[in-house]
Structure 1
Amino acid sequence: MSNLVPTGVSVLDIDPFAEDFQRNPDTFHERLREAGPVVFLERYRVWAVARYAEVHEVLRDHERFCSAAGVGLANFWHEEPWRPPSLLVEADPPAHARPRRITARVLSPRAIERLRPELERHAEELVMEVMASGRFDGVTDLAKPYLVRAFPDAFGLEPAGGEKLLRYGDMAFNLFGPRNRLSQEAMAAGMPIHEWFAEQCERDSMAAGGLGAAVYAAVDRGEATEDEAGMLVRALISAGLDSTIDAIVWTLYLLATHSREWAALRDDPTLARPAFEEALRYYSPVQHYFRTTTREVRLADTVIPAQEKVMCFVGAANRDPREWDDPDRIDIRRSAATHLAFGSGIHACVGAAFARLEAESLLNALARQARTLELAGPPHPRLHNVLRALAHLPLQVRTA
């Protein structure tokens, strides 16, 4: 393929799934942006975009750049997916419209707002626990336990299964990358609970009044079959934990390393949501999405053949100086809501309102009780094919 790359398009020997890239993505992101609006990654024989304008264009144009061939490295037109394609994530109009309409109603901002009291209760309880010692791990003591409590509760799932849901979600995300060591280890941990996970997604496993039951209500209205509702529940559960945990962890890291920003949030709780948005921009948890060309397309004066994978580096786009003023500066008052961390267009994250409310509830609880928030040691990265994540984040606080 590289001999068919048009003159003027940079051909790069960069491996976005390699350990050096995962440990220091920012340096590689700058190299990708500066190499041109469209580049070709020789190792995986895929096209790539890392500037905001081109990433935004690809994500919004589902007619030229589809999701039905998979949103990971695998091209479903040429290879079998490891599980049935998602009706929500790996589908395009017209097939995509009905599943999107069902899930958008279940997870609308208005519907999610009713969950606020319980989310705030979970947040207050956990913050009180970590405040008691003054030192805690932002990952294992706060963000992860919070989501493991709050998410199954909101969905109407068995509360004891949270850790298993994390294992399954980790596998699902890692398998958007190549079949490397990380995906193999994730499969070894996740596949033994595949049947258990499928059972959790069945109607009988959902408590009345939860988000899962609201999805199955579409069956009773004649809008979906029982199997379709199960697949939608599967998609929402597998995507609803890992990336939100990582987004909250990066927000904690941002605030712990920028005392003025933490003081601003502590003094003005309405900055919780903007702080989360700035963290999503700066430390985009989902680092990249793939799309596939449906026909020969022209993108930034580059002609890309049909049925070719295009890798969209959203983490790089969210720090593109062509789009953002002083993009490497942290500013929780910045208007950052146009970031691409939740995607864009018809495939933008349907659970974004839920993730925002979860983060807002936890940040507000912490800001009310902690006068200071600081690092208590160096953070430890968690290597992943798709997510930018931390395994540990040592923090220390003083009471307000």
Structure 2
Amino acid sequence: MKIQGIESRTDDGGAAIVEIDPFSRDVLADPYAFHPQLRDAGPVVWFPKYGVFGVARYGEVKTVLSDWQTYCSSRGVGLADFAREIPWRTPSLQLERDPPLHAATRGVMNKVVALPRLKSLAPHWKQVAAELVESLAGRRRFDAVQDLAEQFPLRIFPDTLGLLKEGRENLLAYATSTFNAFGPRNDVFLESQVGLDAAQAWIAEACRYENLAPGGWGRDVHDAAAEAGISEGERELLVRSFLSAGIDTTINGIGNLLHAFTLHPTEWQKLRSDRSLIKRAFEEGLRWQGTAQSFFRTTTRETELSGVRLPEGAKIIAFLAAANRDPRHWPDAERFDITRQTSGHVGFGYGIHQCLGQMIARQESEILLEALSSRFASFRAAGVSERRLNNTLFALRSLPVEVDLA
């Protein structure tokens, strides 16, 4: 599909003008059809519909993500500018804070998600993965999103946090709406708000100290944050940040990777022949068909980026997924290749605001891939996949598959 709407004319600062809507349903359903034209339009583009700049080439995206002094997150990583309007939602204490405040909250979370603690969970997670895969092996045909990518994280991570047992179905609705909120108030956003009040009420209660199970990471966050002098209300928000970082983005990452394998069956055979490729396979999945498609930054001062003048207070949308397929940086960029060296991809962001849950997502995905590749000789589509549109995430609602047993 060729998406029209990029013109050769520029705004006064030198940015190519892009007339199409990057948050339209067509673009959200297939952003990769739009990215080549966006990258080729210029190093910096201008979207008059929203009055924002955009970057889609790897070099510029990496610059914007890494230079937090010039391109800040504290004015919102979505379309809204918190310096000019009252946030309609509480800003994220992780994504939407800059140093020095960011260092305090990130330090708390890094203490809780220390690598030794995460590795100690692996034996139980492997057992859960093996049981889930075996149950699906008996069916041979199943939905790789609803029966697998969603089920595995939901069976292990809420228990890790110590969340309430009843009402966990609210987690998916909450995470979807959170990431939708970074975009405009379009139909995709409004659809995610239907029935959300009950989910938000459950989330608020679930993140309270007294409702979290002893020994879980949720209470650990509260305790570590209290030692750091963080208020009770902010402690609850820190626990809440786990609910998107450790669940929804992981679900989408697994779903997108399994979709890639259905499109490239020879890569599945490579994986089965060499299990040492499991780590690379997950990283290549993030590069080739990443979960987080874009995030915003705001300029803190007048600056210049690749010859384009940017005023203070300019909103810039960084297209992470477009950067991850930029042929200026990646050889044979459009090819899904699990042997590729993917170091430096921006699938988890880049710089101080990299995804909080990246180590969690990696461990979950690698454990699940190990179980799947051990049990399934082949992995192929058994129907038409269905996208779940989101203003920020690239997600699947359904992926019917059929497997042959090893």
> Normalization by structure 1: what TM-score?
0.96
2:344 pairs with 1:338:
yes
Matched residue pairs, number? 398
1:209 to 203, 212, 215: 215
**Whole-angstrom CA distance in 1 between matches of 2:257 and 2:225:** 38
**Whole-angstrom CA distance in 2 between matches of 1:110 and 1:347:** 22
User: What residue identity is the alignment partner of 1:182?
Assistant: V
Moved more, 307-316 or 383-392: 383-392
2:286 to 247, 271, 280: 280
Post-superposition CA distance 1:8-56 (Å, at most 9, x none): 4211102111011112211211111000000101111100000000000
2:65 pairs with 1:59:
yes
2:194 to 176, 183, 188: 188
User: What residue identity is the alignment partner of 1:64?
Assistant: T
Task: Supply the RMSD in Å over aligned alpha carbons.
Answer: 1.5
**Whole-angstrom CA distance in 2 between matches of 1:296 and 1:147:** 43
Q: Give the superposition deviation at 1:316.
A: 0.3
2:31 pairs with 1:31:
no
* Alpha carbons 2:161, 2:218 under 8 Å: kept: yes
2:227 pairs with 1:225:
no
- Which residue of structure 2 lines up, in the alignment, with residue 376 of structure 1? 382
* Alpha carbons 1:143, 1:245 under 8 Å: kept: yes
- Which residue of structure 1 lines up, in the alignment, with residue 317 of structure 2? 311
- Which residue of structure 2 lines up, in the alignment, with residue 80 of structure 1? 86
Q: Give the superposition deviation at 1:284.
A: 1.1
- Which residue of structure 1 lines up, in the alignment, with residue 111 of structure 2? 105
**Whole-angstrom CA distance in 2 between matches of 1:399 and 1:88:** 42
2:351 pairs with 1:355:
no
- Which residue of structure 1 lines up, in the alignment, with residue 5 of structure 2? none
2:49 pairs with 1:43:
yes
Moved more, 100-109 or 245-254: 100-109
2:397 pairs with 1:391:
yes
For 1:237-256, list aligned pairs within 5 A.
237-256=243-262
Post-superposition CA distance 1:215-246 (Å, at most 9, x none): 11214534433222211111221333222111
**Whole-angstrom CA distance in 2 between matches of 1:19 and 1:119:** 36
Moved more, 6-15 or 84-93: 6-15
2:369 pairs with 1:325:
no
User: What residue identity is the alignment partner of 1:189?
Assistant: G
**Runs (5+) with no aligned partner, structure 1:** none
SS for the counterpart of 2:194 is helix
**Whole-angstrom CA distance in 1 between matches of 2:53 and 2:26:** 21
SS for the counterpart of 1:240 is helix
- Which residue of structure 1 lines up, in the alignment, with residue 300 of structure 2? 294
* Alpha carbons 2:171, 2:199 under 8 Å: kept: no
Moved more, 152-161 or 345-354: 152-161
Aligned identity (percent) is 43
**Runs (5+) with no aligned partner, structure 2:** 1-8
Cα 1:67–1:7 shift into 2, 3 Å: closer
**Whole-angstrom CA distance in 2 between matches of 1:106 and 1:13:** 45
2:153 pairs with 1:175:
no
**Whole-angstrom CA distance in 2 between matches of 1:257 and 1:310:** 33
**Whole-angstrom CA distance in 2 between matches of 1:127 and 1:205:** 31
Q: Give the superposition deviation at 1:161.
A: 3.0
Q: Give the superposition deviation at 1:385.
A: 1.1
Cα 1:220–1:49 shift into 2, 3 Å: closer
**Whole-angstrom CA distance in 1 between matches of 2:276 and 2:375:** 16
Q: Give the superposition deviation at 1:178.
A: 0.7
Post-superposition CA distance 1:139-159 (Å, at most 9, x none): 111111111111101111124
User: What residue identity is the alignment partner of 2:376?
Assistant: A
SS for the counterpart of 1:133 is coil
